[in-house]
Structure 1
Amino acid sequence: MFISVAVVLGATLGTVSGALTLCGLSLLCRNCKKGRLERGDSVDPEKAKASILHTLTQFSVQKSTEPIQPQTLLKFPKIYRPKPSVTSPEVINYSENTNTTEKPLAEPDCCSQETEGDEVFALPRQDSADDTPCTVEQLSSMTTSSSVLHPKLHFSLRLHSQNRELHITIIEAENITVEAGCEGYVSGCVSVSGEQKYSQTAVRKLATRVQWGEVLVFVLPNNCSKEGTDGMEGEVGLTLHSCDRFSRNTTLGTMRFKLADVGMMSDADCWVDLQPPKQLEVTSSAGELLLSLSYLPAANRLGVVVMKARGLQSDKLKDNIDLSVKLTLKHQSTKLKKKQTRRVKHKINPVWNEMMMLELPRELLTKSSLDLEVLNQTSPGTLLPLGCCLLGLHASGTGLQHWQQMLDNPRKQVAMWHPLYA
């Protein structure tokens, strides 16, 4: 009994002592490791084994204030091109023989091709009849030798002798060169026995080719015989006009023929090259005046907006610039109303933008006209006229066209430039 108790106690004590010994050894090992880390004893990186928790490679990071430029990942391969083989001893290498202070100015050859990274050589030209000219020289020679294309008008004539009417059918026009957004129309004029009768087509957008297909009807005087227009003294004119977004009319071309030749041209399609306008008409102008017209049938009122002027004769504006516009409404030869705009000083291209309302019954429109005159006040009480223009059905040119467009478009503002004549 006592022996079994002693054996149990001995086994228990042995087990406890072994556990205490293991705990002491583990604590001793941990203390040794901590002491090494504090002393800075580093393990040899060559003999140490790689571990997940222990990083063997140490990185040194240095701060820098310089901007970091991204590096290109793709590099384009260098294209090797064959260099020109030169066998002539007269070749001059400008990269070696030129002076650094003075750079010679060499004319570029339009037929040569330059490659990056290659040396540039200049070969002396030799005059020979076999050399072919460059492309640019060929194009320049072609443009100078070729003639300018004028607009062409396609129309037909038909004479109705019984009704004494001349019908001109405007079919189309070609070779029109204008800016984008411009519009245009064709106007006709028949002059017989001192009387002029006008008619025009609708306004369409201009392009290289424009089709109208409209008929202009002109009533001939009573002295026209039923057999035809042979022996009659008169003239027929057709003009192609363009108007841009600023409502300025420009004559692109015109053609004229005698009234006696209508019988020969009747019932036939005609293609005619329109001749450009003469420069004398432009130089004789004393400037231009921009006006806007509108008629209100319900109120029997005519609205005239005097907008601005340009191109006035500068030789008459040396001493003083004090410009205004005088407007006179006439019925036949009777003056109905007079108005004048405010004065604009010290501006050779004045801007008024002033609207005037005039009472005018609708039945008087066909026989009424507007007379506008640009005045310069050189001294108190002294007005010097610079130019004038006339608008109405009895006028000609832009004055007739503007008045006709106003009648065709009631309650709408129609603006147009008018030349001033001294």
Structure 2
Amino acid sequence: MVDEVSPTEWWQSRPPLDHKKASTVTIVACSITGVVLLLILVYLVYRVYKKRCAHQAPYEKIYGRGAGGKEHTTVDMDRKNVPQLTVNSRNVQAFVLPSTPPKKTRQFDRPVVSPRMEGTSGALGVPIYPDSGSDSSSPPSRRSSTEGPQNSMFSLGAIDPDLYKATQDDSETNFPEDHLGRVWFALEYQREAERLLVSLIKIKNLPSRTPGSSNACDPFVKIFLLPDERRFVQSKFKRKTTNPKFDESFVFQVSYKALQTRTLRLTVYDVDRHKKHRTLGNVLYPFKDFDYDDGQKIVMWKDLEEKSIMETSDLGEVQFSLTYNNHLERLTVVVLRARGIKKLAGMPAVDTCARVTLMNSNHVLKTKKTNVVTNSSDPLYNESFNFKLSPTQLDTSSLSVAILQVTPGDEGSERQVGRVVVGPFMYARGKELEHWTEMVNNQKDMVKRWHALTQ
């Protein structure tokens, strides 16, 4: 037989409970119960809200008074209080849609100006049409393109090509054969300020280094106020063009009295691939012919000339060539000829010779003379001289070529007519500086120039 155990004995004989586990189970059970109750509460609230929204009418009655004093109401769709409208057939008029006209292609008449319409326009630029039996503010009816143009008017958007014919200037297109170029420039003299304004505008039809090409030329211009060739102004370089546009202005400070004895010279150069300056031509303008009003700007053009044609110096001119060989360290001077040499007072005849002097830092290195040419105002010398000169001395050396008149039979009696000094920037300007610079840049080449004699 199984012994029966009383509940009291069983409770006393059971193992002790774990209080920590019991508390955890209790907390979990309470949390689950609370979440379930919260969900039920949310569901009930949602059902009540949905039921109330379902019974609410979509339109409410709005009371108010309009402009006529009548009370405005809205239709309650739930109660179906829709008033019945009656239509009086007597007040109804038939409405017929107009027939659509066929599409027509717009035709523009050829624009022709009527004699009565030329030069007439309103205050705002709107054309004023002549009277044609109708309202003057309305334009005349459009004419067919088959009708004559005698009385036709301008069509909308049409342009009269006769009004836009560009007039061509013959000076920009008519060039003679073997043309060297044409220069446009402007002159303005301000007498109170004693200032001469020279504006270089443009050049047309310059010769190209490559025949048939219009971009094988890199020109620039030097502007002189002769007889002073040591001072000049220079324009900007223009790349790859035979028709450069400059639009540059330069100022010379000169009095009006001195201006009458000056000559403007514009010399155009081309810079080749080797950075050498090649002279294209010159333009001369003597100011003794300058007719102007104070402050008036005069625009003119002149053709380039290969040689600078101007009056020779009162003392005459001399022509010589320079050649430098850097390997041999040798400077060769060839005195070719002179011209315009006048007889000095007290001299029986024009018997001349040329004296060549090489100087370094104002110290005479060597002097040589040509043979005497008797009784000639344009003597021909054609003699060559060599000087020893190192490349390091090129920037500190200068060369003087002087023309002397001698007395026949009286040895040592010489009188200097004039001289020319060529050299670097330290000693020379203008053509004399250019002659020396061209010799240095073109070594082993003979560089020949004419120079005016000075005291």
TMscore range, shorter length? 0.3 to 0.5
Structure in which a larger fraction of residues adopt strand: 1
TM-score, normalised by the number of residues in structure 1: 0.39
Instruction: Please tell me whether Structure 1 or Structure 2 has the larger radius of gyration of its CA atoms.
Output: 2
